[in-house]
Structure 1
Amino acid sequence: MAAAEDEDGGPEGPNRERGGAGATFECNICLETAREAVVSVCGHLYCWPCLHQWLETRPERQECPVCKAGISREKVVPLYGRGSQKSQDPRLKTPPRPQGQRPAPESRG
């Protein structure tokens, strides 16, 4: 009976982290857990190093690897979460991911 629960996403199944505090997101390029996660305006999620490399190797075609919508490093949104994965390969020369854009607070007057 426990095996059936595992297969259909029960407590020990593949969907056990969905929406939980330990939930992870996969990069749409490397298909691994996203490191320094960023999301495009069209809503697709990537590791910042993967997306940076994608954009650098295709300077004439700046488009989303998934849906081919226009994409630029200035418009991607960083996703911040708990924990940190600082074990980055020092041979990679990836610049820091773009900063999030905070809209100015609305004044009530």
Structure 2
Amino acid sequence: MTYEQREQLRELFDTIDRTGHPAGTGKMDYGRLEHFISLRYDEVDQKQEIMNAFKLFKPDAKDAENARITLADLQRISTHLGEHIPDDELREMIHIADIGETGSVDFADFTRVMRKTGLF
């Protein structure tokens, strides 16, 4: 088991430990364990889906989690889709998503927008 897998397992058990058993026995049945594991996998799957969407904007990024979506990326996508979106509207999109006010959108910003809009 890798270090990362051990940490994920530890997080799972910490979560279970905090929520406890409804009857207060300190034991867990299979159904409850399966529920917690499925929640964790759903979370991992969702992050991967969001990452795949993010990579559509940054297909050449070697480290997508540290990449940033810029005005040029939005212009490229807009052109590729055959849409003409004025630069001021594209800048506004970045401004709305860019929590850190860096002038670009990082993976955390992108994730927040995707979850807030209900796309993920």
Q: TM-score range by the shorter chain?
A: under 0.3
Higher strand share: 1
From the two aligned structures, give the one with the greater helix fraction: 2
TM-score (norm 2): 0.25
Who wins on radius of gyration, i.e. which is larger?
A: 2
